[in-house]
């Protein structure tokens, strides 16, 4: 598909469209239906763009307004293609399960447990694993997702209509009605527009995150536990298992204040209350439905005595017991659920922004309603209605166990610069003097002060006169944690994440801030911080320092006591984005691998196991990789039954927009974690030391070449001019500024726009640069034996294989002829020629060396489905990329504000279109 010039010929009358039947695994029919629907919409609203949509024309000479509409059509088409691909993948998995059994479907519990049983893993080992298992994907609102909630809802409806069209039962009249409905949804997207008209707010981002819980996660996560139990019964039939609520969601939306001035403690409070009401309201719906279904009368089924006692207690608490009993006489299970609903209603009212206190009982926390639902389950089982208990009540109880009164665990994130400023002002308030007179932050004097303050019990809040508004806001956030945990749910707040962690003192400082806010179990000598403090190590320098920092930290009694009370694991977050910006793709991956391996050893030596929180993005450059393979490539023993990972931006809608896909993605993650935890330590690796030595050499060589590039005189200016870096800030897809502190240096630029901009200008150096030189250098130094070693690593080393596979996929997305056009936007020809020349040479070398090691005939030859998907999109993406170059030139040179706004609209749609076309660019 390319795009057309100014005037198109008159549109010919189209023949009536007969929608094809969508068959088992073929996406062709669905694609045809969707394309025809979009074509009809184009004919109604923008007939001159029909040839653009058909790929028969160019948009170079269109007016800015028509250009915007053409780009919007292209973006919508990419969205529709993604729906077809998602639907097709789901149908193929179902087809495989029907024909070969669940144990033959990749990414399922059944397959992993079949392998475990065959490998001799005993049921007791699986039981122990499940007891300590904790998996927590964490939703973040990083600015790489441009879809508005209203568009997400329409895309969801289109997906559901495609499912309906698969069914053979419809008459021709009914089928045409479904096709018309589908066309209406596409038309509404076209008429709605995808771009945010205003800068996104945190409140809107919270609505965006909750959308996925409402649409799929509330209902499908309990199904994942059921799937696990079914698979356990299949492969360990002699043992009884009940899966604990090991899989829960975390979230940063409304809690991540690192560089985002719009996230205040009041915003976080509002977010926590909204999250609480979202889960409570879903529980209310399910419990209400349960009450309608359980129409069991004591005249047919005598009510167990123990259940009668529990019912009487609830009726007495309600203050309206006689009326409740009279409304459903003899239907004791309905009466019980009516009491539960009344308590839940009272709880919902108490958690509104302006609370209303209703008479009667209410739930102080989720554990109480879980207890009531267990009572109901046991009552049905004692009444010989086990099937009703297991199939009707247990899914509701599980839903409450999984989502509690919080929907997700909201993490608080802040950077060490802010926390350090607050600590200096606390020091000045206590010790006298000014904050800038505080001891050096790495000095023994500062450590002694922190330690002394941490040892003092707090019975009341202290007067701290020298705190700035910024520091008072920081302390108010810590105080909010205690308030919300007591007032909403003990798991409402997950942890505090300290970004830019540089030392043990940075972490101890956060412990002190938590103490000042009185979120301690605080008696002399046995102080315990209730809030988990999680250091985040992001740069290569920080990753290398992390093992020594954590060894020192875990020797501190306060930390050890706190970690033991919190569950026994010290969580450490590792960042994939900044390390990539720091040292390039290969060095980043190797440094992350080494840090996790060494930190795992540190935890073992300290008898405090370390659990990792992986800060991955959507793109390869920010840690994005196929879920199962990414987990498989982690160091042996590093999962420790605990796994957390960020789901960022467009990855969230890809995984969780639709229920079938959401269920599969959650099971895939959990099954992959189980496989690593149960089987990775059985994988003997006699060649590990030799491979590690080779990885170290490759990492050093590739980083050296990468560093030469980013340190080249004029590189920053080249990047800024030869990409839409500055223009990305105009795209209202996130509440967060592009830079942490407003500076203009590369070091302070956030990793997300860094990666996003390189993807837009088709250089994509963040996913491959330096690797060709690294491989070439290794072979030159070690000769034939070195080349043979690399080929063995490609076959046997999971980390090395994953890196090369993802590099090849990235290389397939690079287009140097288009990149050259972007490079011409850089005004300094000498710098432009030098920087682009380095990129061009390294690209050719990386393609050559990857094929030499892998033995392939073409780049990404091992991934035909990926190549096919990309080939379908590249003609449009390439055309839009070329058009974006011209739009950037026009936008930057235009002085008339009206014309500039027209160009800006088309420019932003081009950014959106390229992002949607690739699917994961940030």
d(CA 336, CA 315): 8
d(CA 508, CA 525): 16
d(CA 671, CA 673): 5
Using the 8-state DSSP alphabet, how is residue 615 labeled? E
Instruction: Give the E-state strand segments of 240-303 in sequence order.
Output: 250-251
Per the residue annotation, which of 142, 265, 273, 809 is the catalytic one? Answer: 142
d(CA 72, CA 125): 54
d(CA 430, CA 465): 9
d(CA 529, CA 549): 19
d(CA 634, CA 643): 11
d(CA 537, CA 543): 6
Give Cβ neighbours of residue 357 (< 8 Å, ≥ 6 apart).
346, 349, 350
Per the residue annotation, which of 111, 332, 581, 598 is the catalytic one? Answer: 581
d(CA 352, CA 274): 8
The closest of 666, 573, 555 to 611, measured between CA atoms, is 573
H/E stretch holding 832 reads helix 829-854
User: What tokens were used for 245?
Assistant: 């609520």
> CB neighbours (10 Å) of residue 901?
12
The closest of 791, 771, 766 to 701, measured between CA atoms, is 771
Alpha carbon dihedral 883, 884, 886, 891, in 10-degree steps, equals: 140
> Are 894 and 903 a contacting pair, CB within 8 Å?
yes
Active site residue 796: no
Give Cβ neighbours of residue 450 (< 8 Å, ≥ 6 apart).
423, 505, 508, 509, 512
Active site residue 273: no
Collapse the DSSP code of 333 into the 3-class scheme (helix H, G, I; strand E, B; otherwise coil) and give the result: helix
State in Å, rounded, how far the first CA of the chain is from the last one.
25
* Residue in this structure with the two tokens 């030799």, named with its chain if needed: 690
388 to each of 290, 352, 369, 381, 384, how far by Cα in Å? 10, 34, 19, 8, 9
d(CA 260, CA 255): 10
Collapse the DSSP code of 722 into the 3-class scheme (helix H, G, I; strand E, B; otherwise coil) and give the result: coil
d(CA 110, CA 588): 34
> CB neighbours (10 Å) of residue 539?
19
d(CA 73, CA 70): 5
Using the 8-state DSSP alphabet, how is residue 863 labeled? -
User: What tokens were used for 902?
Assistant: 């027209």
Collapse the DSSP code of 727 into the 3-class scheme (helix H, G, I; strand E, B; otherwise coil) and give the result: helix
Give Cβ neighbours of residue 40 (< 8 Å, ≥ 6 apart).
14, 17, 183
- Chain center to CA of 673: 16
Collapse the DSSP code of 499 into the 3-class scheme (helix H, G, I; strand E, B; otherwise coil) and give the result: strand
Give just the sign of the alpha carbon dihedral 671, 677, 682, 683. Answer: positive
Give just the sign of the alpha carbon dihedral 331, 337, 342, 343. Answer: positive
d(CA 282, CA 274): 12
The closest of 429, 424, 426 to 441, measured between CA atoms, is 424
> CB neighbours (10 Å) of residue 801?
17
User: What tokens were used for 678?
Assistant: 């149960």
Give catalytic residue positions.
Answer: 142, 581
């Amino acid at each position: 598909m390319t795009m057309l010039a100014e005037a198109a010929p008159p549109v010919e009358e189209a023949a009536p469209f007969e929608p094809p039947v969508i068959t088992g695994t073929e996406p062709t029919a669905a694609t045809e239906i969707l394309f025809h629907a979009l074509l009809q919409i184009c004919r109604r609203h923008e007939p001159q763009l029909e040839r653009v949509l058909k790929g028969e024309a160019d948009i170079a000479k269109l007016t800015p307004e028509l250009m915007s509409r053409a780009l919007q059509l292209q973006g919508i088409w990419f969205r529709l293609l993604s729906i077809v691909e998602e639907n097709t993948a789901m149908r193929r998995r179902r087809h495989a399960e029907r024909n070969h059994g669940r144990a033959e479907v990749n990414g399922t519990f059944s397959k992993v447990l079949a392998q475990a049983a065959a490998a001799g893993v005993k049921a007791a080992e699986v039981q122990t694993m499940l007891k300590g298992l904790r998996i927590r994907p964490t939703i973040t609102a990083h600015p790489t997702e441009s879809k508005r909630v209203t568009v997400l809802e329409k895309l969801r409806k289109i997906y559901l209509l495609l499912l309906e069209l698969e069914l053979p039962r419809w008459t021709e009249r009914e089928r045409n009605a479904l096709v018309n409905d589908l066309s209406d949804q596409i038309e509404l997207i076209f008429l709605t527009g995808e771009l945010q008209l205003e800068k996104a707010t945190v409140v809107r981002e919270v609505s965006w995150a909750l959308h996925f819980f409402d649409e799929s996660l509330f209902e499908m996560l309990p199904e994942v536990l059921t799937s696990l139990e079914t698979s356990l019964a299949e492969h360990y039939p002699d043992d009884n298992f009940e899966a604990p609520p090991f899989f829960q969601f975390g979230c940063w939306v409304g809690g991540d204040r690192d560089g985002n001035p719009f996230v205040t403690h009041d915003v976080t409070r509002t977010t926590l209350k909204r999250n609480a009401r979202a889960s409570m309201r879903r529980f209310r719906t399910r419990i209400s439905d349960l009450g309608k279904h359980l129409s069991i009368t004591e005249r047919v089924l005598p009510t167990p005595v123990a259940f009668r006692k529990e019912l009487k207690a609830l009726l007495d608490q309600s203050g309206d017991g006689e009326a409740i009993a009279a409304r459903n006489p003899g239907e004791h299970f309905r009466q019980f659920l009516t009491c539960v609903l009344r308590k839940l209603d009272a709880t919902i009212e108490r958690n509104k922004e302006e609370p209303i206190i209703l008479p009667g009982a209410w739930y102080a926390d989720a554990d109480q309603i879980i207890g009531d639902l267990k009572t109901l389950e046991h009552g049905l089982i004692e009444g010989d209605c086990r099937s009703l208990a297991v199939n009707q009540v247990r899914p509701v109880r599980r839903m409450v166990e999984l989502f509690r009164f919080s929907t997700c665990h909201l993490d608080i994130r802040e950077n060490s610069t802010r926390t350090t400023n607050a600590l200096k002002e606390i020091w000045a308030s206590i010790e006298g003097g000014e904050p800038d007179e505080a001891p050096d932050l790495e000095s023994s004097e500062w450590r002694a002060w922190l330690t002394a303050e941490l040892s003092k019990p707090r019975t009341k809040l202290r007067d701290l006169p020298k705190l700035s508004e910024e520091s008072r806001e920081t302390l108010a956030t810590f105080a909010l944690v205690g308030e919300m945990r007591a007032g909403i749910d003990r798991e409402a707040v997950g942890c505090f994440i300290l970004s830019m962690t540089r030392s043990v003192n940075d972490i101890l400082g956060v412990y002190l801030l938590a103490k000042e806010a009185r979120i301690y179990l605080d008696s002399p000598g046995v102080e315990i911080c209730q809030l988990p403090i999680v250091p985040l190590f992001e740069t290569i320098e920080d990753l290398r320092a992390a093992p020594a920092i954590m060894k020192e930290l875990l020797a501190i009694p306060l930390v050890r006591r706190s970690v033991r009370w919190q569950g026994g694991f010290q969580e450490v977050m590792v960042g994939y984005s900044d390390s990539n910006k720091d040292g390039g793709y290969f060095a980043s991956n190797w440094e992350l691998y080494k840090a996790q391996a060494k930190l795992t050893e540190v935890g073992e030596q300290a008898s405090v196991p370390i659990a990792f929180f992986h800060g991955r993005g959507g793109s390869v450059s920010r840690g994005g990789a196929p879920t199962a393979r990414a987990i498989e490539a982690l160091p042996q023993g590093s999962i420790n039954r605990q796994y957390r990972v960020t789901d960022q931006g467009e990855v969230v809608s890809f995984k969780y927009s639709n229920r079938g896909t959401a269920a599969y993605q959650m099971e895939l993650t959990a099954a992959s974690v189980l496989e690593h935890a149960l089987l990775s330590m059985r994988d003997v690796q006699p060649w590990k030391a030799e491979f590690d030595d080779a990885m170290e050499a490759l990492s050093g060589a590739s980083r050296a070449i990468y560093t030469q590039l980013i340190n080249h005189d004029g590189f920053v200016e080249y990047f800024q001019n030869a990409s839409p870096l500055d223009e990305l800030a105009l795209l209202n897809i996130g509440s967060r500024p592009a830079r942490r502190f407003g500076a203009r240096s590369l070091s302070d630029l956030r990793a997300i726009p860094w990666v996003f901009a390189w993807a837009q200008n088709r250089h994509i150096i963040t996913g491959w640069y330096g690797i060709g030189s690294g491989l070439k250098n290794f072979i030159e130094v070690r000769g034939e034996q070195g080349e043979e070693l690399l080929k063995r690593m490609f076959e046997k080393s999971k980390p090395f294989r994953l890196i090369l596979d993802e590099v090849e996929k990235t290389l397939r997305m690079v287009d140097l002829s288009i990149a050259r056009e972007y490079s011409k936007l850089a005004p300094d020809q000498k710098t432009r020629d030098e920087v682009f020349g380095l990129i061009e040479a390294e690209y050719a070398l990386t393609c050559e060396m990857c094929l030499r090691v892998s033995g392939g005939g073409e780049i990404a030859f091992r991934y035909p489905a990926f190549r096919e998907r990309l080939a379908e999109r590249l003609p449009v993406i390439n055309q839009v990329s070329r058009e974006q170059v011209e739009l950037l030139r026009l936008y930057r040179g235009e002085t008339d504000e009206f014309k500039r706004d027209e160009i800006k609209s088309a420019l932003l749609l081009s950014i959106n279109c390229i992002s949607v076309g690739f699917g994961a660019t940030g």
